[in-house]
Homo-oligomer: A and B are copies of this chain.
Amino acid sequence: MNESDFIAALRTLPLHAGARALEDDCAVLELGGETLILTHDMMAEGTHFLANQDMADVAWKLVATNLSDLAAKGAEPVGVMLGHCLSADDERFLIGLHEALNQFEVPLLGGDTISAGASRVFGLTAIGRATHLPVPDRGLAKPGDAVFVTGTLGRAMLGLEEIGSGSENDLAYRRPAPLLAEGRALAPHVSAMMDVSDGLLLDSWRIAVASKVTLQLDSAAFPVADQARLDECIRWGDDYELLFTAPEDCRLPVPAHRIGKVEKQGPAPLRVDGKILTPEDGIGYRHG
């Protein structure tokens, strides 16, 4: 059973209405006059980090990736719960965790610490508070909207090749920053929004599918770190930029690149320079 099969099977279980049919990165829970945003991401050795990687970076990234999901919902972080398997480098893990909690001003709420032999698997649940309703969603892109992405794509990919160099790319890979302020500023303006964790093309395809529209993208407008490697930059994940759709004439509160437009649902969810691309064409990072 691969990841897609497993998630499809989960969809047949009793789901909370706020689970958004498991089609989004976060759950949305209305409770006590507030709207809570909940997300849980895991990281495992061999899949999400290398055995010899600095565990301070792993802990930082565990926090950052979860907060990035909150950022794409325009949410303000409330706290995090840590699921931790004890391992040899726990001192470094704690240093990175401390740095990330300080940097993003989010406190620890609790969690669990276990012995799991040689397994290095970590989980984090991040809890946030919505700052704008409706909460941005993957599924609300509308025909006529423009498609935007913040920042530069491919930095994390280049960073993995330059790991430990201290370069801007290296930091983009090891110490990504969730765009929390940008997400909050954008939330009132966007129709759909998500963070680019699995590559620009795959994540664009996901917005299109969830919104039942076609995204028509223009490759000349893609903001990539290395033009000579454009194809890779838009297929690699880990950049944590914000990908969103908004009305053509919207005055955006943060800088972003206009990379295409939303059209009525055509024969395929995604076209780049007019050409149909599907997940079978290897458009991004897919797990297991």
Checking B16, B46, B48 against A79 with a beta-carbon cut-off of 8 angstroms, the contacting residue is B16
Closest to A119 in B: B119
Give per-residue flags for A121-140: 1 if the beta carbon is below 8 A from chain B beta carbons, else 0. 10101010100000000000
Which residues of B sit under 8 angstroms from A97, Cβ to Cβ?
13
Closest chain-B Cβ to A52's Cβ sits at a distance in Å of 16
How far does the alpha carbon of A1 sit from the alpha carbon of B48 in the complex, in Å? 23
A274 near B: Cβ within 8 Å? no
Residue from B31, B43, B44 within 8 A of A31 (CB atoms): B31
A18 CB to nearest chain B CB (Å): 6
| Size of A's binding interface in residues, CB under 8 A | 72
Choose the segment among A81-89, A173-181, A260-268 that binds chain B (4+ C-beta atoms closer than 8 Å): A81-89
Q: Is A221 an interface residue (CB 8 A)?
A: no
* Interface: A111 (CB within 8 A): yes
**A234 CB to closest chain B CB, in angstroms?**
23
Q: Is the CB of A107 within 8 A of B288?
A: no
> What 0/1 pattern do residues 80 to 109 of A give for CB contact below 8 A with B?
011111100011001001100110001111
Asked whether, in the complex, the Cβ of A114 is within 8 Å of the Cβ of B27, the reply is: no
Q: Residues of B contacting A40 with CB < 8 Å?
A: 81-83, 110-112, 123, 125
Q: State A39–B109 Cα separation when bound (angstroms).
A: 9
Integer count of this chain's copies in the complex = 2
Chain A facing B: main interface SS: mixed
List the B residue with the shortest CB-CB distance to A66.
B112
Judged by a CB distance under 8 angstroms, whether A281 is at the interface is no
A39 cross-chain contacts in B, Cβ below 8 A: 81, 110
Give the interface of A toward B (CB within 8 A): 1-3, 6-7, 9-10, 12-16, 18-20, 22, 24, 26-27, 29, 31-34, 36, 38-48, 78-79, 81-86, 90-91, 94, 97-98, 101-102, 106-117, 119-121, 123, 125, 127, 129, 287-288
Instruction: Offer 10 A-B interface pairs, CB within 8 angstroms, sorted by A.
Output: A3-B115, A13-B98, A14-B98, A16-B78, A29-B109, A31-B129, A40-B82, A44-B117, A83-B83, A113-B287
